[in-house]
Structure formats: structure tokens, C-alpha cells
């Protein structure tokens, strides 16, 4: 028996804002979208075009209060080939929320408060 990672889910309050953030901040593109006729939810799967792992953004129509992310210790990590350019881009976007210079990593925060770790490519 062998398992492989399919996707990571983040529930969002504003689908358009979230899709735009993931496109602008990380270069992810919409792979597919699920919208039932009753409009009760929207699923948008975002991919990097390289790996099969996707980020599933879930919007629930009847959700009114922001999601409780607790201590935000659960996060998504992405590897980048040009750490300096990524850092500058995210700094200009104003979405860097934590830096660990000793480890050479930093985190950005999406519109719903989820943290995303940015890791340099190992060479």
C-alpha cells in the first residue's frame, strides 16, 4: 500500500481575494473549481504546475465568522528557487508575518490568517 499527498485544504471567507493572493504571492494557478447548483460552497484547487500537490480553497456560503486558527502552528511550506527575489516580492506585498534569519526561512500570511513557510531550494 502506498499513499501520496493530494492536497492541503484552507477554508476561506472571500474566494476571489484568496485566489488572487495565491496567484500573486506564490504563482499558483487555478486547476479546477467545484460549485454546486445550490451555491452552498465553492472549492478551488490551486496548483504550482510542477508537483501534483494542490491547495484546496474552500468557501462555505453560510459561514459568517472567521475561522479559529488556534496558534497557527499548522502551515504549508513552499520551496523557492530565488529566495532573495521571493523575499522582496513578499515584502512589497506586505504579507511577511515572521522571519527566522538563523534558519534562512520566513512566513507569509494569507487573507484568512494562514501562515505559509517560504524555504530556499537546497543546492
So which residues are the catalytic ones? 117
Q: Which residues contact 110 (CB under 8 A, 6 or more apart)?
A: 10, 18, 21, 22, 25, 95, 116
3-state secondary structure 28-42: CEEEEEECCCCCCEE
User: Is 43 in contact with 34 (CB distance < 8 Å)?
Assistant: yes
State the cell numbers at 67.
475561522
Amino acid at each position: 500500500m502506498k499513499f501520496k499527498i493530494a492536497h492541503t485544504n484552507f477554508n476561506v471567507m472571500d474566494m476571489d481575494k484568496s485566489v488572487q493572493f495565491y496567484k500573486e504571492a506564490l504563482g499558483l494557478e487555478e486547476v479546477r473549481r467545484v460549485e454546486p447548483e445550490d451555491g452552498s460552497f465553492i472549492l478551488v484547487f490551486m496548483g504550482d504546475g510542477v508537483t501534483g500537490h494542490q491547495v484546496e480553497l474552500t468557501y462555505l456560503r453560510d459561514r459568517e465568522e472567521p475561522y479559529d486558527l488556534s496558534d497557527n502552528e499548522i502551515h504549508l511550506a513552499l520551496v523557492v528557487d530565488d529566495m532573495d527575489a521571493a523575499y522582496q516580492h513578499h515584502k512589497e506585498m506586505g504579507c511577511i508575518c515572521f522571519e527566522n534569519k538563523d534558519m534562512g526561512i520566513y512566513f507569509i500570511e494569507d487573507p484568512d490568517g494562514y501562515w505559509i513557510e517560504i524555504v530556499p531550494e537546497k543546492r
